[in-house]
Structures are given as C-alpha cells and as structure tokens.
Amino acid sequence: MTQWDIEDITPALRDSPPDRRNQVWRNWYDRLVSQLDDSDYRFMNYGYLGLESPKLEPSDEANRIFIELYQVTLGDTSLTDKDVLDISSGLGGGAYWISRVCQPSSLVGMDFSPEVVRLCNKWYGGQHNLRFVVGDAEALPFPDNSFDVIYNVEASHCYANYDVFLREVFRVLKAGGAFCWSDFQSRTSMGKIETDFENCGFEIVSLDDITDGVLRSLDSVHKAISEGKLDGKQIIWGNDTESLQDVIQEFAGGGRSYHCCNLSKKNSIGSRI
C-alpha cells in the first residue's frame, strides 16, 4: 500500500520488532481514519474485477470493484443464517454489504483501530445483524468455537505474526467451519502460505491466484482517472496516480501476487458446514 504515504512509516516498520509493528500500523490507520469522518470511503482494498459482472443492486454499483473482491474471497461459502466474523473489517463497507445480501444470522466486524470501529458503529448502527468491535487479529476477543464462517480481506500483510493469527482463527472457528482469506504478498512469501495453513490444521478447499482480476480493478481506476471520468479522490488510494502506477507495475511485473483461499476446519466426521 505504498500509495497511502506508507513511506512515512516503512522505516519505523523495518526497524521495529514484530510486537512493535502492530502498534505502528494501529497508529497509522488511526491517523488515516481520523480524517475520514465526513468522507464517502467505505472500503480500503485494491478491488477485483471478474470477467463476468455479477449482478449488484444499483446503489452498490459505485463500489463494484471492492464488493467483487469480497465475493471472490467468499467463493461458494454460504453465510445464510450463520454466525460470521470479519477480521480487520476496516471502514466496514464489505461487512455492511454482506450483512444485507448474504443474510448471516449475525456478523461481527472487528478491527484494531478504535477510530475505524467508532465510525462503523456510527455509519451502520441501523443494520440489525451487524456490529463492530475493537480487537487484535493476533488475540481475537472471542471464546473458542464461536463462528461458523470467518473471512479476512487484504489485511493479513499488516500482522506481525501470521502464524499466531492463523492459530487464533482456528481456535474461534467452530468445527466444520469455513475460513475465507485473500491478500497480496511478495511471490516468495506466497510460496509458503499453503504450508502455513496446513500446519495450523486447516484443510485447503481452494487456492486461487487472483492477481489478474486485481490488476483489472487497478487498471480500470487508473484509466478512469486518466480519462477524467473519475476523480481520484473518490477512491482512498486513487489520489496519487504515480504511486498507483507503481503498484500496478509491481503486480504486472510479478513481484507481488494476490491470492484467495477457502479453508475448512474439519469436524470429527470430516465434513465442512
């Protein structure tokens, strides 16, 4: 996410021990979000554009790229009447869309930035099956076996201890539950992600490289801004076109890739919810 003045914090990140890194990210997100009270931003991801355009409500069209990233992350997982957790829900746009369209019985959006959680509770307080809480992905504030489905979109690159995060997800997921994950990483670290999942006890149901769809999303925004059809300020990362070009280049050149994975925590008879 170089495009969000992350240069300000990368030296601090590079020089910090893992535990300190979480604090650095928290301060950075709190600072970013403290300027957003009256803004229209509801998503903080790069988006995804599939080859077919799934049907959306007209009011959701403006957020198509972001919503499609949530759709591809969830894959075939049914959320109807389920207890669901969104880890690192950010500005809550994904959780809000899912709470309306996928009809979970309950959906908890959790983020470690108190400022972001305050905004989400203010914006989406009227949605009956949705609430937002403060919490750390590496120390989830929930009892064991709490959720049927857990998802996590474009956030795990911030976590200092990826394996601690995975163990926490496994702990709070019910037996037979599903975990849907997506994020970008360098090609090298992506190579070991399957082992990380399996070492935690998850079974991999599907693992897909979705870099092309993410690139289509980034390209579409870049093109729309260049042609004057979109004001870069309408997208949280669209303002700085030079940095946007760098990100596109990194994905297109193969230095960075974006994957999504559907995982299952087998129950005693080995089936998935």
Ligand X SMILES: C[S@@+](CC[C@H](N)C(=O)[O-])C[C@H]1O[C@@H](n2cnc3c(N)ncnc32)[C@H](O)[C@@H]1O
Report residue 243: phi and psi, to 5°.
-65, -35
The answer to whether 272 touches 176, Cβ cutoff 8 Å, is yes
**Gyration radius of the chain over CA positions:** 18
The residue within the footprint of ligand X, chosen from 3, 63, 88, 264 (CB under 6 A), is 88
The helix (H) or strand (E) run that includes residue 19 is: helix 18-33
The residue within the footprint of ligand X, chosen from 84, 137, 150, 215 (CB under 6 A), is 137
Q: How far apart are CA 271 and CA 265, in angstroms?
A: 9
- Other beta carbons within 10 angstroms of residue 194's beta carbon come to 14
| Cα atoms in the 13 Å half-sphere on the side-chain side of 114 | 2
Shortest Å distance, C-beta 128 to ligand X: 22
Does position 112 interact with ligand X (CB under 6 A)? The reply is yes
Looking at the Cβ atoms of 122 and 226, the one nearer to ligand X is: 122
Looking at the Cβ atoms of 67 and 225, the one nearer to ligand X is: 67
Which pair of tokens denotes residue 1?
């996410």
Scanning 87-95, 98-106, 195-203, 247-255 for contacts with ligand X by CB under 6 A, the matching segment is 87-95
The answer to whether 137 touches 88, Cβ cutoff 8 Å, is yes
Does position 111 interact with ligand X (CB under 6 A)? The reply is yes
Q: How far apart are CA 12 and CA 266, in angstroms?
A: 40
Which of positions 174-233 make contact with ligand X (CB under 6 A)? none
Under rule CB under 6 A, how many of the chain's residues touch ligand X? 23
Scanning 121-129, 153-161, 201-209, 239-247 for contacts with ligand X by CB under 6 A, the matching segment is 153-161
Shortest Å distance, C-beta 91 to ligand X: 6
Does position 71 interact with ligand X (CB under 6 A)? The reply is no
| Site residues (vs ligand X, CB under 6 A) | 22, 25, 29, 43-45, 88-91, 94, 111-113, 116, 136-138, 153-155, 158-159
